[in-house]
Each structure stands twice: as structure tokens, then as C-alpha cells.
Amino acid sequence: MSIFSRVANTFSSSKLTQDVEAELKAHIEMRIADNLAAGMTPEEARRDARLRFGNPRVMGERTAAVDTSMLLESMVRDARYAARQLRKSPAFMITAALTLMLGIGANVVVFGVLNAAILRPLEVPDADRLHMILHHPYGYDSQSYPDFLDWKERNSTFSAMAAYRIRPMGLSIGSAAYKCWVEQVSTNYFDVLGATPAFGRFFHASDEHGANSAPYIVLSDGFWRSHFAANPGIVGATVDLNEHPFTVIGVAPRWFHGIDLFIWPDFWMPAIDEQLVGEDTLQHRFSHNLWVFGKLNSDVTPQQATEDLNSIARELAKENPATDDDLSARLVKPGFFGDTVAAARPFLLAVMVLAALVLLAACTNLASLFAARTADRSRELAIRLAIGSSRWRLLRQMLSEAILISLIGGAAGTVCAAVLLGSLSQWQPFGEFPIHVTVMADARVYIVALALAVCSGLVFGLLPMRQVWSSDSAQVMKGNADSRIRFRRFAFRDLLLGVQIVLCSLLVTASLVALRGMQHSLNAPLGFNPEGVVLAETDLHMTGHSAEAAARIQKRMLGEVAHIPGVTAVGIIDNTPLGTGGSSTAVFREGTTDFRASNSPFVSKFFSVSPSYFVAAGTRLLGGRAFTEQDDVHAPRVAIVNQTFVHKLLGAAIPIGRRFLLPDKQQYEIVGVVEDGKYDSLAEAPGAALFFPLTQAPTSDTTLVVRAALPSVEVVPPLIRTLGNIDPKLPFTIESWHDALAFVLFPARVATAVLGAMGVLAAMLAVTGIFGMAMYSVSKRLRELGIRVALGAQRFQLMRSALEKPVVLLLGGTAIGMLCGVAASTLLAQIVYDATPRDPMVLGGVVGGMTFLGAFATWIPTRRALRIDPSRLLREQ
């Protein structure tokens, strides 16, 4: 007994059966009463009543069955019948369910990501009142610590405000040092977020008594498990951070990872301890390196808070004209590094739209499948109508088929999507960074999936019902079918297919544009040549080296690495261009005395490099000289700049020997000019960059740029040995420069992958759509075609009449889709480097691709049309 009929039984045994029993009992009692009145004995009266009535139990059951038939039981029957019908045409069922699966699956994945990245609230209390306070312009939007303290002190709209920054650090456990990611936070951080420790304790504002007063760290749950074997005894223990002792005071709960999406730091320490780990930035008002967020008072709107903060910004600008001249504030919802995700939002939404389009394409496919099926069954349906089946009954049955298919397809799609999302959550796109793309599907995702499946199944499965509704059974049965309405019905199916082809060619265009952009960006002039280069990146602070020691060690590294066999050049830069570090500074013209930011003509990226860096990196020196060992602290300050820097500072004048100033009021002489390059992203406009000699601008951030004539697998082992000899505890990240570029290529890679996947889906759907239509049109007209062959029609004429419509649709749809694709590419250009559809490769690719799809899809129907054997055909029909 199926679960459904059990449910039906429990249901019917209650109210329904009672009703029936009461009705039958009344009947029998009335008969007995009448019999008694007619003079029978009670015994006779009961016997007679019983005889006339028949078996009351059987009658009761039968009556109740009539009532329940409208309820669950009949639904089960409908479903069984539908399943049987579908089993009889497995090709139809599989095609329909697969089609739906693709559409639903794509949507669930995209919605899952969208949900995780944008829709899901932060997992902290009062998340809706948390706002990040950013500096006005993009890219330069973090805050300095003194400004943070002033914001916090003077505002009247936030109940609390905290700050944090994330950086790598060396943690020594025993004799090994690990590179870890730590959030340096204001001491009130955990209290503002309303978090409580899993055990141990958190640090609070009350622990803070001036700089370096709270050498405590709080471990994240994941780090505690992976590095301390989940040992609760760790609380109270001492660990070394950059060779300085810190006490572990607690472990954060499993869910807690701060307020940045996808970022899971290893532990937290008070920012005021920065000097203990070798940093010294908090006291500088010009040093913008903190993210600030606050919790709004409950009666304050974000608007009021922004006004409040901006009036403070104006005060600060008056008090500190040199540094806070252009200070301003805007509030954003916490996301991924400020509002980095906001930049990706249009793209995510666009992808959602694309996914919806894929679903629409799947649905149009579904609709034409159902339409074809209904047309094939029109005779059966007509007969059933004629013998008295109600139209509602037929509708109900087709409805059950549509629902069954949509549930199967939807379930399959959702399962695939859940698997995909699951593997996405396991994925760490940048091994080096503590990023987990936590996009597990939640209830909301599943509800959306179910709703999508049922809606699309129902709406598009039932569209063809209009045929049944309006068909004249007598006409249909006579077999010359619906010559009258054929024109209109086919027009509707044509429209569906046309829409589908447009969508497909749009998606193919978009993915080709992205693919080409990707290819361009790999060949773009970067201002350096990553080919054959291995990077070894570290921070000498991690093992507690002082600045002077750092310079010595760097020199030793350069000398010893250069002797590794196969190494042709080696240089040092603090942060590689297109890496994740790097800083900017305002630049001033020679003779300036006003060092307010607003007086600066432009902002430039700056780097510290060893003399040999440009050779090792493959950056061309266009004029002047490279640095030498003589450019040390005792020599005049010098710099090498790029072409854009020259152009912005001096226009067309000869740059060598000219001077400029920086906010430290020092004068720098330009001794060399190098080619332009990309520094932050591949899609950026040319920007100014300047390079200092390492000897004049020492830094502990050290990236060895090792150019070798040998493959990297042969260079890396001796490189590791050599560096290990210099400082065995120092952790290095060693990778080829190509791999290190993964971060900047990431958006373009994702865009290409997503668009490619969508394009493939759309292409598959279009192929099945065109195939279905061509096949159907050939099979419907087999007889007519057969007669024409018999009358001597040429093959070409035959093909033309059978396939004219699909081909016209294909050509028209492709053209429209390409136009839409061209329009959509402007959006793509924000993400993908050099994305332009006006590229012969792209246009040719789309036309070629669509033609191939069309040919592929019409191949079998064409063969079928050409192989018509008129004599056999006419005999059979």
C-alpha cells in the first residue's frame, strides 16, 4: 500500500466515513420505523430493512470511495497514470527532464552564489545595523588609525566603532614557522560584533593601556583544530608571532570569521601591538590601512550617520590639512574587502539574468516538446473527448504529466547544483589566502529551485493545452487534422524556437567575447615578463629581523640565489606589480611648499627594488640608468619612474635629472625611465609608478624575482635549499610568476568559465530545440514529402521545403542574438580585459559556431527527409 493511499485512508476514516455512516444509518432506521408502523415485529422489521438495503458495510465503503476519489487517492492515480504515460515515451520524458535539469541546475548554482555573496546577512547579532565606513574614492577607501580614533570619539550616530586589517605573519610553533593570516583589530572588535568565545576569553577595550600593552591572540576555530589539534589546554600558552611572544587567551566560535565574506583569518590580535610584530603605521594619519565599521544607533538612519561623519571629516580636514584634506565618509554594507563585491554585483546580477535566460531557453524547449507531444496525441485526445471525457479531466492528466516531469527535472537539477555548490565551498581559489567560498545551498535556495521547477513545468507544459481546448474532435479524428489551425500553431512554436536561438547566440557571443578578452589579457603588455620567472615571497619581520639585518639578508639572498645553476638574473621588489600588496603616494612638483593632498597633480604607485630587479623582471629601461650600489642612504635620493609618471609630471619634457617631491617633503631625482605596466588590475588605464632603490627605501617585505633558463621544477628545489641555509625558520611562498597572477586573472577566469558554461548549456538547448523542430516537421510531412518524391521532386527542393523554416529561424535568431551580445559586451568590458565584440574572431566564431550547431541539429532530420521511399511510405499510410 502506497504512502498516499494510507494518508487517504486515515483521512477518510475520520470525518468522511462518519458522514457516510450516519447517512446510511438514518436510511435503515427510517425503514425500520416504517416497517414497525406497518405492524411488523421488531425482529422482522430489522430483517426486512437489511434485505432491502444490501450489505451496509459494502455500501458504505463504496460510497466513501466515491468521495475520496476526488482527494489524495485520485492524485496518486493521476500520478501513476502520468508515470505510465511517460514510461511509454521515454525519449520524450528524458529529453524534457534533462532540459529542465540543465535550466534549473544553472539557476540554483547562480542563485546559491548570489545568495551567499549578496543576499545572506552576516552571521553576527544586529547585522543590519553594521556598516563599513569607507573613504570616498574607490581603491583608496581604507582609513588611518588616528582618523579612526577621531571618528569614534566625535560621532554621535554610532553606538560603537571598531577597526581591523588583515595581514600575513609568521607564527613559530617549536622550530617551525608558519605563514598565517591574522586580523589586527581594535580591542573593542569582539564586543562590537557581539561575539562570545567558544572558550577562554576575548580581549576587550579594558585590556588596552597604550601601545604594545596587550600581547594576546585569539585563535579561530579552524586554526585551533589544524595547528593545535583542538587542544583546549592551549589557552594560556605562549606562541611567537614574528619572533615575539604572545599569549593565547581564547578560541572563537566555529562560525565566527569577522565581517568579510569568504575570508577566514587564522587568529586575531590587538592592532595596538603592531610594533611587537615589527610594524609602525598606526600613529600616521596618512597611513590608510584599516577597515572601519560601526554599529548604528537604532534610531539613526545611514543617511544621518553619513552626514554626521562628513561634518567630522570637515573638522579633521581643518585640523590636519596635510593629511585629511580630502577626507570624507560613505557607508556601505560589509562585504568583501570594503565594497569590492559591489564592483562584482552588476556582473553577478548579469550572470543571474543569463541563468534566467538559460532557464527560459530550457522552458521554450519544454514548451515545444509538449506542443509536439500534444499534437502527436491529438487524435487520442480527440477520441477521449468524443467518448465523454471532460476537458477538465484531460487537462488534469496533462497537468500531472507536466508536474511529474518538472519535479523529476527540478530534483535532478537541484541535486547537481548542490553537488557543484558543495565542491565550490571546498575550493580555495588562492591557496595563499584564507579565502573559503562558503556557498552551501540553504533553505532559500531549495525553495527557489522548487518554485522555478514547478512554475516552468506548469506554465510551459500547459501552453499547448490551448490546442486541446480549442480542438474540434470530429475534425481531428478524420485525420486531415488541423489544416485550418496549423499555420497559427506552428507560428507559436516557431516563436519559441526563435527566442531560443536568439538566447543561444547571445550567450555564445558573450562567452566568446570573454574568452578572447581572457586570451588578450594573457598576452597584454604587463610591463614585465612573467615567463620563466619564479617568485619567492616572504616578510623578514616574520622571524624578527630588524631593518638593518633585513638589508644584509636581502643582499645575501641576491648573491647566493644568483649562483644557482640556470638562474640568469635575480632581483628583489617589496611587492610585485599585479600582486596583492603595493601602496600609492601623492606626488608633488618641484618647488611645492603646500603638501595638502588636493595640491598634488597625481597619485603614483611606489615600489622598492634592488638594482637588478628590472633585468630579472624583464622590464625595459627606456632611458637613463638603473640603480647601482652607490644609491645608498648617503647618496642623494633617486627614483626610476614609468612613462605615464613622466607624462603626468612633465608632459613631453626630458625627464632624466628632473626632480619631484613626496609627502615626506623629500626631493627625488629621476635617474631612469621604464616602460608602463599593469599594477593593480589588467583592465586598468595606464597609471603612474615609481621605483625606489631598496638601499634608500628599505623594507622587510621581500619578493625574490628569479629568472632562470631552466624549467621552474628544476629551479625551485635548489632555491628552497639556498634560502633555507640563510634562515631556516623563514617561511616562503614560492610559485611561478604565472601562478602568482591568478589573483588578477581571477575575475576574468570566473567570467570566462561562467559564460562558457552558460554558452555550452545554451548551445545544447538550441541543438535539441532545432533538432526537435526539424525532426517533427519532417515526420509530420513524411507523407506529403513522399508524394512529392513520387512526383519527381529533386532532393534539393525536398530539403528546402522540409528545412526552410529551421534554417531561416537559425539565421535570423543568430543575427539578433549577436546584436544583443554586442550590446551586452559593454557590461563585460568592466570585468574582462579588452572585451570587445568588434573582433573578427568573435563574430566569425559566433557565425561559425551557430552554423555548426544548426548543421549538427538538422543532420539527422535531413537524412530522414532524403531517404524517403515513396512506395513504402504510401503503402504504410
Partner 1 sequence: MVEMPKNDLQGTLELLVLKSLAQMGELHGYGIALHIQRASDEMLRVEEGSLYPALHRMEQDGWLRSGWKVTETNRKAKYYKLTNAGQKQLQEAEQSFEQLVKGVRALLRYA
Q: Applying CB under 8 A, which residues contact partner 1?
A: 19-20, 22-24, 26-27, 29-31, 33, 52-56, 58-60, 62-63, 65-67, 69-70
Widest distance between CA atoms in the chain:
137
Q: Within 10 Å of residue 539's Cβ, how many Cβ atoms?
A: 27
Q: Which residues contact 412 (CB under 8 A, 6 or more apart)?
A: 97, 98, 101, 105
Whole-angstrom Cα distance, residue 246 to residue 544?
14
Beta bridge partners of 609: 573, 693
C-beta of 757: minimal distance to partner 1 in Å? 50
Of 75 and 349, the one with the shorter C-beta distance to partner 1 is 75
C-beta of 57: minimal distance to partner 1 in Å? 10
Of 27 and 780, the one with the shorter C-beta distance to partner 1 is 27
Assess contact for 566 and 710: CB atoms under 8 A: yes
DSSP string, 195-232: ---SEE----GGG--STT---EEEE-HHHHHHHHTT-G
C-beta of 2: minimal distance to partner 1 in Å? 22
Assess contact for 322 and 663: CB atoms under 8 A: yes
Report in angstroms the alpha-carbon separations of 306 from 133, 135, 310: 9, 11, 6
C-beta of 33: minimal distance to partner 1 in Å? 7
Of 49 and 682, the one with the shorter C-beta distance to partner 1 is 49
Of 22 and 709, the one with the shorter C-beta distance to partner 1 is 22
C-beta of 302: minimal distance to partner 1 in Å? 59
DSSP string, 5-70: HHHHHHHIIIIIHHHHHHHHHHHHHHHHHHHHHTT--HHHHHHHHHHHH--HHHHHHHHHHHHHTT
Of 72 and 193, the one with the shorter C-beta distance to partner 1 is 72
Of 23 and 629, the one with the shorter C-beta distance to partner 1 is 23
Of 64 and 689, the one with the shorter C-beta distance to partner 1 is 64
Residue found under cell 508536474: 403
> Residue 117 carries which DSSP code?
I
CA distance from start to end of the chain: 45
Of 39 and 54, the one with the shorter C-beta distance to partner 1 is 54
Q: Which long-range contacts (CB under 8 A, 24 or more apart) does 476-480 make?
A: 476/378, 476/379, 476/381, 476/382, 477/379, 477/382, 477/383, 477/386, 479/379
Q: Is 295 helix (H, G, I), strand (E, B) or coil?
A: strand
Of 31 and 257, the one with the shorter C-beta distance to partner 1 is 31
Q: How far is CA 438 from the centre of its chain?
A: 11
Of 67 and 629, the one with the shorter C-beta distance to partner 1 is 67
Q: Is 330 helix (H, G, I), strand (E, B) or coil?
A: strand
Of 55 and 546, the one with the shorter C-beta distance to partner 1 is 55
> Residue 507 carries which DSSP code?
H
Whole-angstrom Cα distance, residue 470 to residue 371?
14
- How many residues does the structure list for the chain? 877
Q: What is the dihedral of CA 632, 635, 641, 645, to 10 degrees?
A: 140
Of 70 and 791, the one with the shorter C-beta distance to partner 1 is 70
Whole-angstrom Cα distance, residue 280 to residue 537?
21
Residue found under cell 573578427: 840
DSSP string, 664-710: T--EEEEEEEE----SS-TTPPP--EEEEETTTS--SEEEEEEEESS
Q: Is 250 helix (H, G, I), strand (E, B) or coil?
A: strand
C-beta of 396: minimal distance to partner 1 in Å? 14
Assess contact for 560 and 718: CB atoms under 8 A: no
Q: What's at 302, amino acid-wise?
A: P
Q: Is 501 helix (H, G, I), strand (E, B) or coil?
A: helix
Beta bridge partners of 262: none
Of 44 and 560, the one with the shorter C-beta distance to partner 1 is 44
Beta bridge partners of 292: 133, 163
Strand 659-661 relative to strand 667-674, pairing: antiparallel
Whole-angstrom Cα distance, residue 682 to residue 685?
9
C-beta of 23: minimal distance to partner 1 in Å? 5
Q: Is 134 helix (H, G, I), strand (E, B) or coil?
A: strand
Q: Is 375 helix (H, G, I), strand (E, B) or coil?
A: helix
Exposure of 437 by Cβ count < 10 A (0-12 exposed, 13-18 middle, 19+ buried)? Answer: middle
Of 20 and 536, the one with the shorter C-beta distance to partner 1 is 20
C-beta of 12: minimal distance to partner 1 in Å? 12
Of 29 and 869, the one with the shorter C-beta distance to partner 1 is 29
Whole-angstrom Cα distance, residue 723 to residue 719?
6
Beta bridge partners of 535: 705, 735
Whole-angstrom Cα distance, residue 528 to residue 678?
9
Assess contact for 814 and 501: CB atoms under 8 A: yes
Of 60 and 718, the one with the shorter C-beta distance to partner 1 is 60
Of 72 and 793, the one with the shorter C-beta distance to partner 1 is 72
Assess contact for 310 and 147: CB atoms under 8 A: no
Exposure of 298 by Cβ count < 10 A (0-12 exposed, 13-18 middle, 19+ buried)? Answer: exposed
Of 32 and 371, the one with the shorter C-beta distance to partner 1 is 32
